[in-house]
Amino acid sequence: MQFAIEAQSLVKKYGGFAALDDINLAVNRGEIFGFLGPNGAGKSTFVKIILNLVHATSGSARIFGEQIERPQARKTVGFLPENIRIYPYLSIEEFLRFHSELIGIASKKINDDINTCLRDVNLESVRTQKIGTLSKGMLQRAGIAQAILGNPELLILDEPTSGLDPIGFTELRRLLLEMKSRGTTIFLNSHLLSEVERTCDRVAILNKGKIIKSGSRDDLSDRGKHLEVVAEGFNESMEKAINVLSQKNLENDGKYFRIYLSNEKDSVTVHRIIVEAGGWVQSLAWKSESLEELFYRLVKHEDMGFNKDRP
C-alpha cells in the first residue's frame, strides 16, 4: 500500500543533540493523523524534513511514494507552518494568487479556487486587505486558505488553531472533516489535545525525538476504563482501603481522584469505603483515559526515566 507519508529510520541531529531519533512512521491515505508532543519534542522538525525544508541526518521519507527531495513530491501538498509569515505588502487575494501559480493551477481556475478558499475560511469580505494589517487570527485563516488551495491530497497543518477564536476552531474542525470526506489526508501537528482527540483517526506521541506511542485512539491507552470519583473528606484510612482494592492504582488530585479498577462492580465497594470512612461522594463515573491524560502520563513517565523498554 502506498502511504501518504512514510518515514523510515529518520534521524536529525544538531551537533550531538538528536532532534529526531529513528522515526518510523506511516500515515495512511485519507486519514486524519495527529502528531503530538511537548515543546521541543521534534514535531516541527519532522514536518520540515517531510517538506524538504530541513535535511535529515539519515533515513528516508516519501510522500505518496515520491522521495521528499523531489519538488514533485510536494505537488499535491498543502502546508500551514507554525506562526506563518507572509509578505506583508500583498493583499490576501494576491497572496493566494501567488500560491495558485506556484502550485500550477490553470489560470482559468485560479479565481474560482481562490473564491472557494476564501469562503471556507470566512475571509471573503477582506480579500483586498493587506496581509500586514491583518490580526493574528485572520492571518492564520489566510494561511489556512493557502494551505487548502487547489484541493491538496495531503494537508500538513502545524498548530493550525494558533490564534483562532472558538468559532474559528469549530469552523476549522468542520473544514478538516469535510476535506477528509473528500479523501484528503490530514497530518495535524498540535498541542490542542481535545481537538486532536475529536478529529484524528490515529495519533502518534513524540517525546525527545522518539515516538513513544502510536496507534488509533482506542489502541493507545492500555489502562482501560477508570472510575473517577469526586469526593470530600478524603483521608488516609480511605486511601489505604482503596489502594488495597485497586492494587495501588489510585491517583489523588485533592478533591478529585481516579481509581483504576478491573471490575466495574467494585464501584459500589468504593462508594461504601468512602462513606464508611466519613467522606461524602459528590459524583462517581466510569471514564476512559482521555488523550490529555494519556499524553501527560506517557510524557511525564518518559521524562522521569520510566518506560525504558517502551512498546
The site map against another protein for 233-272 (x = CB under 8 A) is: ----------------------------------------
Residues from 41 through 80 that contact another protein (CB under 8 A): 48, 51-55, 71-75, 77, 79
Q: Does residue number 89 form part of the binding site for another protein (CB under 8 A)?
A: yes
CB 113 to another protein: min, Å: 14
Residues from 95 through 154 that contact another protein (CB under 8 A): 98-99, 101-104, 143, 146
Which CB, 150 or 279, lies closer to another protein?
Answer: 150
Question: What is the C-alpha to C-alpha distance for residues 123 and 135, in angstroms, rounded to an integer?
Answer: 12
Cell of 266: 467494585
Among 11, 18, 26, 90, binds another protein (CB under 8 A): 90
Which CB, 141 or 226, lies closer to another protein?
Answer: 141
Question: What is the C-alpha to C-alpha distance for residues 309 and 186, in angstroms, rounded to an integer?
Answer: 30
Kindly indicate which of the ranges 82-90, 199-207, 232-240, 248-256 contains the residues binding another protein, using the contact rule CB under 8 A: 82-90
Which CB, 40 or 278, lies closer to another protein?
Answer: 40
In 3-state terms the chain splits into helix, strand, coil percentages (rounded to 5) of 40, 30, 35
DSSP string covering 13-30, please?
EETTEEEEEEEEEEE-TT
Which CB, 50 or 227, lies closer to another protein?
Answer: 50
Kindly indicate which of the ranges 85-93, 196-204, 208-216, 274-282 contains the residues binding another protein, using the contact rule CB under 8 A: 85-93
- Give me the sign of the Cα torsion angle 219, 221, 223, 224: negative
Question: What is the C-alpha to C-alpha distance for residues 95 and 141, in angstroms, rounded to an integer?
Answer: 12
Q: Cell 481537538 identifies what position?
A: 195
Which CB, 34 or 150, lies closer to another protein?
Answer: 150
CB 78 to another protein: min, Å: 9
Residues from 193 through 232 that contact another protein (CB under 8 A): none
Count of residues touching another protein (by CB under 8 A): 29
CB 71 to another protein: min, Å: 5
Which CB, 99 or 202, lies closer to another protein?
Answer: 99
H/E element holding 61? strand 58-63
Which CB, 18 or 275, lies closer to another protein?
Answer: 18
Q: Are 121 and 74 in contact (CB under 8 A)?
A: no
Q: Are 99 and 149 in contact (CB under 8 A)?
A: yes
CB 14 to another protein: min, Å: 10
Cell of 198: 475529536
Task: Tell me if residue 163 falls in helix, strand or coil.
Answer: coil
Task: Tell me if residue 255 falls in helix, strand or coil.
Answer: coil
CB 155 to another protein: min, Å: 12
Contacts 24+ apart (CB under 8 A), 47-56: 47/79, 47/81, 47/156, 47/158, 47/187, 47/189, 49/7, 49/10, 49/12, 49/20, 50/5, 50/7, 50/156, 51/77, 51/79, 51/156, 54/12, 56/10, 56/11, 56/12, 56/20
Give the residues lining the site for another protein (CB under 8 A).
48, 51-55, 71-75, 77, 79, 81, 83-87, 89-90, 98-99, 101-104, 143, 146
